[in-house]
Chain A
């Protein structure tokens, strides 16, 4: 078991409030996909709001949502995100989300196992990825960095 886990944060801007009829399939998918994540190999933790649906709205802009989770490894997260039924929801993301333009929508970073990432930490890592490109402290699947213990050895 590694001393580090992979933290993940995603952000998206909704085309309509979650209660809107155009968002029904997305809203229903949230429950299904959270259940799928929870029972996926390598899943460690995810941030849940009072509804437990795992999407956290930004206080200043309710259309801006975040998901935050922790996984044992990038391979585990990849298997859940891109090699499961979740991929069909990603394929349809433009039905529900505005394009993110040149701004980063996903960031990955390593956290000591047992610690939960925070929303604030995630937003700051997104900013770092945006400003500096991929670094060991904020990266994406397109350019993965190994866990710190592995780099030390």
Chain B
């Protein structure tokens, strides 16, 4: 919540440029990936890629799973490959100590108890509308941390929820706020005549998707 030396260690492990790139490759992947793919993406040797990946695991930023990748099973299928994916844990460091998440939790609970969701949605939409016009839809959503990917020619899915922990604690309040904010962002950026945001919840990604009008 506030500054924790363990979090600082985790983030400090990203100061190495190659390691940071390795983290980026895993983060950008659609699922768990092996050291060979990371090595290819970075243009470094497999041993070096594995070294950095394992450092990231030790720092708690990545998690390991094992799977046979070729679809082969039984004897002769070989050893399962070691695969890397982002760890679920979140790390934040603030100097001096700040506890914005605690404040956000308290506010979300108050909104819920007061039944003030309509006001929250209105404020969130207005907040989104303040974004300057001009960016294309991918730039706009990337800048806000949503990690947009095409889910078809006329559809965009968002792989990251910028409010993830809070959304897990207060799903209707925070997901509703998020939908209103994205709707506002599209208006502010001048993209609302082309794209529409809607609530389209599914496991493992943001609850909002965009579709072409």
Contacts and interface: CB of A to CB of B under 8 A. Distances in A.
Interface stretch (A84-92, A125-133, A145-153): A84-92
B199 A83 contact: no
B201 A88 contact: yes
B114 A87 contact: no
Interface string A69-112: 00000000001011111111011011000111110000000000
Interface of B: 112-118, 168-169, 171-172, 175-176, 179, 199, 201-203, 207
A141 B199 CA distance: 21
A120 interface: no
A102 B169 CA distance: 16
Given A90-B172, A141-B169, A142-B169, A82 B201 contact: yes
Contacts, number: 50
A82 B171 contact: yes
Contacts of A99: 112-116
B113 A87 contact: no
Given A93-B172, A141-B169, A142-B169, A87 B201 contact: yes
Given A99-B114, A101-B113, A79 B203 contact: yes
7 contacts: A82-B201, A83-B201, A87-B201, A91-B179, A93-B117, A94-B115, A102-B113
A91 B113 contact: no
Q: Which 6 A-B pairs have the closest CB atoms?
A: A99-B115, A90-B172, A87-B201, A91-B176, A82-B171, A88-B199
Given A82-B171, A141-B169, A142-B169, A91 B199 contact: yes
